[in-house]
Structure 1
Amino acid sequence: MQPLPQTSQRQGAIMLASGGLLMGTIGVFVEEARLSAMTLVFFRCLFGMLSLGAFCACKGWLSPRQLKSQFTRRTLGLALATGVLMVTQWVAFFDSIHRTSIAVSTVVFHVQPFWVVLMGAALFHERLGADRLGWIGIAFVGLVLASGVLAEGSLQGHQRYLIGIAEALGGSVLYASVTLIAKSLAGFRPHLLTITQCAVGTICLPLIAPFFAPLELAHISAAQWGWLVGMGVLHTGLSYVLIYGALPKLTTPVIAVLLFVYPLTAIVVDAVVYGRALSVPQLAGMVLIVTASLGVNLGWRLVPPMLARARR
């Protein structure tokens, strides 16, 4: 495999970091729109589908010939399945932000790489090994700290907070499922996968909850419309174009590091905009999650080789 050109890697790093920075601000749009999670996701899907559709049309990826080559019965079925999972995950994540905070929800959600590893082992009989199991254990210790559930007074009648933590955690499991399914769609254009997911949300959400839209639509202000359009165009259109364009230009170690621009940005934004800084234990939990994720993705040794061989 030939090394990637230096210029291409630099461009990819800038694109991925920019996409992460954009995604890290989505919590502000969720908070400022002041609408239910289901309404937010519906409009994210609608405006995201339109913006990504315009991009794909400009690239010529929506021509009948291109679509026929991409969408077979198998790929369409899998794409629709990821749509159901992704839309459900978005609703859970946005509602989690309402119940907890931007930083807490984002940090808890970012344990999803470890679900991918565990689910891959369960479904495909992939060997975990002592190192991976150790990093996963460290990550879930970090999760407990980062969630804030051990903080004094954090659970004083706050069932709402616990539900929010559970939603973020459940959303991470759903996203891990999407990741595993997407791995089986080799050669399928990721932009079209996201458009399909957005189409599922645009069509299905009003059918699932027919009363949420009319009640809130009548009272949406001009400012709220701005946040909704921005969420679709910036966080589903532009950010995904940047991220998808960056990944082929980068090596796995660089991707593993830059993916944490998103949660780190969310933490800073929550602290600066809303004054909701994470506590020292929560920050320590975030450090453990980041370190463990890098350890899993980069294959860092946690158990000395001689000890690992002795256990076999």
Structure 2
Amino acid sequence: MVAGGLVLGTIGIFVEEARQDPMTTVFFRCFFGMLALSLWGAATGRLHELKLRWQELTVALGAGVLIVLNWVLFFAAIPRVSIAIATVLFHIQPFFVIGLGAWWLGERVSKAQVIACVVALAGLVLATGLIGSKTSLIATSSYQTGVALCLVGAVAYAGLPFIARKAKRVSSFALSWWQSAVGVLLTAWWPLWHGLPQTTTAWLWLAGLGSIHSGIAYVVLYAGMSQLRTSRVALLQFVYPLTAIVVDRVVYGHQLTALQTVGVLIMAGALWTVRRDSKRVCKMPPGAQASTSA
């Protein structure tokens, strides 16, 4: 799951360089992701895994709807509330994951896990530069809409670990493929109506976004989600924003302030603690094992 978060942390580069609107970006992310997964499945003889029973298919389709909703809402919220605020609001979702895990699955949540989650979120707030910013936030209708979009997106993403647990008989490869297929069906109308990308560069970045971030990353991510307790999943999901902040600094030269550096270190410390305490052996579904090793 850490590997998936590290890969997802580079999404910003591909989205930034592709220079497309959110819906077009989501469509091509799903399209190229499905294409890459299909080719990989054919090469490894795993296409038969895409044939699911009805109950398993509904779980896979549900995961697809949630992740596409999450992507569209997050991209739509950014211009309304800024990247920093959208990132902070979006990553409230670990609290939803822990709460739902305790309420729905009856999982025990220790004080240490709650504290680690709060510490990681505090580190994220510092790392985004929200604290100490001179920008005044006006509670306009656009801003309020952006906040609502982030919160709904956070709830949608929080549902993914539970779906992954329900789909233990579905390989992470199949779950990722069906997720991409749902995304293609839900968003295909947008680029057909508004037009396709006009430059070769845009097509290349979108192809990379789909094949890497909707292909490889989600196969690995779902394999991890299916074998971990939801409280641990909630904490490890901070790997994504932590990586994104570091990548933004390295690739685009955005200098971190002292507070941002402290935030990154706090997040890294919380995540390291979780990794250190996660040495227990978990029994994985055969499909998930194959996907992780691929």
Q: What range is the shorter-chain TM-score in?
A: 0.7 to 0.9
Alpha-carbon distance change, 181 to 272 in structure 1, aligned in 2, over 3 angstroms = same
Could you tell me the percent identity over the aligned residues? 42
Inter-partner Cα distance in structure 2 for 1:20 and 1:133: 21
Give matches, 1:76-225, under 5 Å. 76-96=57-77, 109=90, 112-157=93-138, 167=149, 170-206=152-188, 210-211=189-190, 213-217=192-196, 220-225=198-203
Inter-partner Cα distance in structure 2 for 1:137 and 1:244: 24
Inter-partner Cα distance in structure 1 for 2:133 and 2:242: 24
* Structure 2 letter corresponding to 1:282: Q
Deviation of the 1:113 alpha carbon: 3.9
Q: Which runs of 5+ in 2 are unaligned?
A: 227-232, 279-294
Q: Which runs of 5+ in 1 are unaligned?
A: 1-12, 249-254, 301-312
Deviation of the 1:196 alpha carbon: 0.5
Alpha-carbon distance change, 169 to 154 in structure 1, aligned in 2, over 3 angstroms = farther
Give matches, 1:1-312, under 5 Å. 17=3, 20-63=5-48, 66-68=49-51, 71-96=52-77, 109=90, 112-157=93-138, 167=149, 170-206=152-188, 210-211=189-190, 213-217=192-196, 220-240=198-218, 262-295=240-273
* Structure 2 letter corresponding to 1:45: C
Inter-partner Cα distance in structure 1 for 2:255 and 2:153: 23
**How does the TM-score come out when normalised to structure 2?**
0.74
Alpha-carbon distance change, 39 to 268 in structure 1, aligned in 2, over 3 angstroms = same
**How does the TM-score come out when normalised to structure 1?**
0.70
Indicate conservation of the 8 Å contact 1:103/1:266, yes or no.
no
Alpha-carbon distance change, 154 to 90 in structure 1, aligned in 2, over 3 angstroms = same
Higher mean Cα deviation, 72-81 or 168-177? 168-177
Count the aligned residue pairs. Answer: 274
Inter-partner Cα distance in structure 1 for 2:14 and 2:199: 14
* Structure 2 letter corresponding to 1:228: L
Deviation of the 1:96 alpha carbon: 4.8
Deviation of the 1:256 alpha carbon: 10
Indicate conservation of the 8 Å contact 2:85/2:130, yes or no.
no
* Structure 2 letter corresponding to 1:26: I
Deviations 1:254-273 (A, max 9, x none): x9999766444422321233
Deviation of the 1:83 alpha carbon: 0.7
Alpha-carbon distance change, 229 to 257 in structure 1, aligned in 2, over 3 angstroms = same
Indicate conservation of the 8 Å contact 1:31/1:98, yes or no.
no
Indicate conservation of the 8 Å contact 1:149/1:155, yes or no.
no
Larger Rg computed on CA atoms: 1
Deviation of the 1:176 alpha carbon: 2.0
Inter-partner Cα distance in structure 1 for 2:277 and 2:114: 12
- After superposition, the CA RMSD in angstroms is 3.9
Inter-partner Cα distance in structure 1 for 2:78 and 2:22: 9
Alpha-carbon distance change, 241 to 120 in structure 1, aligned in 2, over 3 angstroms = closer
Inter-partner Cα distance in structure 2 for 1:181 and 1:245: 12
Indicate conservation of the 8 Å contact 1:95/1:164, yes or no.
yes
Inter-partner Cα distance in structure 2 for 1:129 and 1:110: 20
SS in 1 for 2:204: helix
* Structure 2 letter corresponding to 1:82: A
